[in-house]
Chain A
Amino acid sequence: MNPALLAAAVIVLAGAVVGVSARDARIALGGLAVTLFVAPFLADPLPSAVALGTRLVAAALAAYLPWIAVRDPGSITRGSLLGAPVEAIVGLAAFVIGYGTAGLGAPAVGPAEAQGAGVALIALAVGPLVFGRDVFRLGSGAVLLLGGVLLVRTSLGGTPSGLESVVTGTLFIALGGSIAFLVVSASTAGAHGGEVFAEAGPVTTRVAPQAARRPPGRVPARTAPRMPTIAIRRSRRPAAERDESIEQLVLPVEPDPPVAPDPALDPAPGVSPADPPESDRT
């Protein structure tokens, strides 16, 4: 086992865990960026300087494009329902499985650590891809899935060529651009925190911070969700004991009427509209 490669794999895994479990979209994006930056180093021998530079520049662009969309302090994402520790354990278990099955039945040309990290990323991507309710989280799942598959490919086939690095970098830039485009479109459409998939559940009157700051006249009416729904039962615990973070997970089943200006949400004199109440920040 190469300690340097193992350290790189741990960093990749840690970034992915942060990416899928953080509820502040900026922190989640930071985790993804770490994963994208360190993943090219999981190769033995290392790619050429040009190939490595290409991947790093591509990683920077792939992270910067969604950053434009989520840099607002109010940007929220769903995060993990299981929590970061569970995600870390899942990733670690998948890493061990991937490391132990290096080569998938035949001698691997690349390092086993790459396959371990790749399988871990694929395992961590399952949650966001299957249960993701907001655009950013689902996009993060797509990045992790393809990043994981490409790490497995590095382990099986060896260090990618310079040309493959360029094409791979282009893929990640396109992914970042797609996520940014979708997040901005979801925000324009008035989706709560980028959540565009409906869930069965109780109706909430909570307004996401971005929607709360928007002038009342510009708030678009939400249309009736038509996507297949996944029922999430509400806790029977008393309201006082509920986790506030769960509140943001529920979406209205019935279409909301156009949001009327709520006096409670109107900024009080002397309070900047750009500074939402602390309870709205998650």
Chain B
Amino acid sequence: MSVLPFLVLAFGFSAASLLLRRWAEASAAVGLVGLVAAFVAALTIRPDELAIAGGSIAGSEYARLFLLLGTWTGLGLVAIGLATALPRNLAGALLAGLGAAGLALSLPDPTTAVIAAIAGGLAGILVTLREQPTTDGVAVATRELRAIAVAGAFILIATAWMSRPLDTLVEDPGVFGLAYVAVAVGVAMRFGAIPFHLWAARVADAAPEVALPLLSAWGPAALAVVGLAWVDSSIVPVIPISGDLPVERAVVIAVGLACLILGAIAAWIQDDLEHVVGYATVQDAGVVILAFAALDPGVWPASRTWIIVLLAARTAFAAWAVVVRARYGTRHIDDLDGWARRSPVLGISLLAIAIASVGWPGLAAFDARADVIQLAIDGPIQALALAAVFLPLLYYGRLFVVGLARPGEAMLAVQDDRPRRPTAQSPDPGASSPRRPGRAILSTIRPAVDTNRPLLIATLALVLAGTAVITAAGGFGLPAAAAESAPGSAGRPGDVTGPGTSPGSSPSLSPEATPSPTPASTAAPSATASPSPTVTASPPVSPTPSGSPSASPSAAPATPAATPAAS
């Protein structure tokens, strides 16, 4: 029930903002109000469940944190956009994307959640094009549409295949392997992971910088969370039967490692800040892909922690790039000699972003990423992957070296961070009217804002970078929220029943399974909740010593014996 106000506000204000897009200022104002309203609504989300239209919508602490960060950073992006160059559709698209993400994170049925996440991804198309579209830009946006559709089709087929009685298919590991790879590849395509990165690179080139977080991080992240929940509930419990899928896991690990290593190198050698941001996101997405390769319930909290950190850090990085371009008039790194000397606030912002995305042992983000890698990879490659997490120091180091260099003539001409008094202007004749106190205040504030605009937008970037650091340190209750069960599962915060008990997401394994006229996803409850003639693959889960959700292999229904009870 608590998610419903957020959804109504997000979709309502999104529609209003997009309908008003012809009037840019009105559209932005409606979008800003909508983001504030959605932020307040996200604050009220709590773990609960609402039965609606034959399904259910469940609130959770994780969804609350995801949406709070989304609306907060969205507000920051729109504010920076207003001070620089706001794409006409950004506020509306942000609200639509966050609304769809909120819906996807709240739906217990994985197939429906995937549909919602795909619909949310389409919102990004609205901000892929600049104000004056070109044929190249439209081609890039069209490729994005194709990537979203194909990735969504992969994941939908896989989830639909598993979310019904499987009969004798359970004995065929190839079925689970195929479905598992389809979901992992679909998520990799959405993130623009290597080798599916060509369209994402073109999007980074064509889209406005301020829209990059929505395009390359927030939309794919919601899909990744849904995909991880599905893997944890539909694939992990059947590993004792189907085997640990070595070939399929190797493919996923190869994709994850390629992102982790090549993404950082690509970001390092790029001369364009937008490309650096884009490939940095691809590198972080490599950890998410590796989480799919773990096939271990212990990866659940670590992967969800990393996804939130990724979102906060990369949104801050994109905001920093927008501010750099706005202040120095270029996005080419070679032309930015001395940027940090001219703007220490931006220098501190980049340092904070580097800390959030690289970190050190003991920091929640660093430990989460290390856990994912250790659970996904064994042997010497694990050491390679663990070393690769420090590769971002290459591109952060390059940016700092350039920033601390001696500024050139052009850089010296750029206004520095020192606050300035507005120059004296001719008084506004209407401002002195006692009937218009608002106008008087505006006439006082506006010159001060205009004069100090560079400092203000740098400060906004610093606020987003600070948010990223707090998130990476485990602030805002991130570890507890990430360890929470998937929506709709029997467990609740504090329980460690794990997502494996999610009703509807579990494949039925019994050969005697009776086809039901309703989808298995909604009709087949888990064995622990309300036993049915269908034995589900979702075993009762037991807490591990570390507190992470753990499926009990002994509970896996290796035999087709049905539990007697009514559905």
Chain A residues engaging chain B, CB cutoff 8 angstroms: 44-45, 48, 50-51, 104-109, 122, 129, 135, 138-139, 141-142, 145-146, 149-150, 152-153, 156-168, 170-171, 174-175, 177-179, 181-182, 185-186, 188-191, 196-197, 222-223, 225-227
Report the interface size for chain B: residues with CB under 8 A from the other chain: 61
Interface residues in B96-126 (C-beta closer than 8 Å to A)? 100, 103, 107, 109, 111-112, 115-116, 118-119, 122-123, 125-126
Interface residues in B376-415 (C-beta closer than 8 Å to A)? none
Interface residues in B54-78 (C-beta closer than 8 Å to A)? 54-57
19 CB contacts below 8 A, A to B, read A105-B168, A107-B165, A109-B164, A109-B165, A109-B516, A109-B520, A141-B146, A145-B149, A146-B118, A146-B156, A153-B156, A157-B520, A158-B520, A162-B52, A164-B519, A174-B122, A175-B149, A186-B138, A227-B136
Q: Which 7 A-B pairs have the closest CB atoms?
A: A163-B55, A162-B53, A161-B54, A153-B160, A142-B149, A106-B167, A157-B519
A77 to B18, CA, bound (A): 27
With A138-B146, A157-B163, A225-B135: A167-B168 Cβ-Cβ less than 8 Å: no
Most buried by B among A50, A146, A170, A178: A178
Contact with B518, one of A50, A142, A153, A159 (Cβ below 8 angstroms): A159
With A109-B516, A163-B112, A225-B135: A150-B156 Cβ-Cβ less than 8 Å: yes
A225 to B135, CA, bound (A): 8
Contact with B138, one of A153, A156, A158, A185 (Cβ below 8 angstroms): A185
Main secondary structure of the interface of A (DSSP, over half): helix
On chain A, the residues within 8 Å of B156 by CB distance are 146, 149-150, 153
A191 to B133, CA, bound (A): 10
On chain A, the residues within 8 Å of B109 by CB distance are 161, 163-164
Considering only CB atoms, which chain A residue lies closest to B508 in the complex?
A106
- Inter-subunit contact B161/A182 (CB<8 Å): no
Most buried by A among B148, B160, B167, B172: B160
Considering only CB atoms, which chain B residue lies closest to A221 in the complex?
B134
Closest-CB distance, B123 to chain A (whole angstroms): 7
Kindly state whether residue B452 has any CB partner on chain A within 8 Å: no
Closest-CB distance, A42 to chain B (whole angstroms): 14
On chain B, the residues within 8 Å of A150 by CB distance are 115, 156
A174 to B96, CA, bound (A): 10
- Inter-subunit contact B145/A178 (CB<8 Å): yes
Most buried by B among A108, A156, A165, A167: A167
- Inter-subunit contact B118/A105 (CB<8 Å): no
- Inter-subunit contact B166/A145 (CB<8 Å): no
On chain A, the residues within 8 Å of B498 by CB distance are none
Encode B171-199 as 1/0 by CB contact (under 8 A) with A: 01001000000000000000000000000
A178 to B126, CA, bound (A): 7
Most buried by A among B56, B513, B521: B521
Kindly state whether residue B142 has any CB partner on chain A within 8 Å: yes
- Inter-subunit contact A129/B157 (CB<8 Å): no
- Inter-subunit contact B142/A109 (CB<8 Å): no
Considering only CB atoms, which chain A residue lies closest to B55 in the complex?
A163
With A157-B160, A163-B112, A189-B134: A108-B515 Cβ-Cβ less than 8 Å: yes
On chain A, the residues within 8 Å of B4 by CB distance are none
- Inter-subunit contact A157/B521 (CB<8 Å): yes
- Inter-subunit contact B135/A163 (CB<8 Å): no
With A146-B156, A157-B163, A175-B122: A197-B139 Cβ-Cβ less than 8 Å: yes
On chain A, the residues within 8 Å of B132 by CB distance are 188
On chain B, the residues within 8 Å of A163 by CB distance are 52-57, 107, 109, 112
Kindly state whether residue B169 has any CB partner on chain A within 8 Å: yes
Contact with B133, one of A129, A152, A188 (Cβ below 8 angstroms): A188
- Inter-subunit contact A109/B145 (CB<8 Å): no
- Inter-subunit contact A171/B160 (CB<8 Å): no
A185 to B133, CA, bound (A): 6
Closest-CB distance, B90 to chain A (whole angstroms): 14
- Inter-subunit contact B521/A182 (CB<8 Å): no
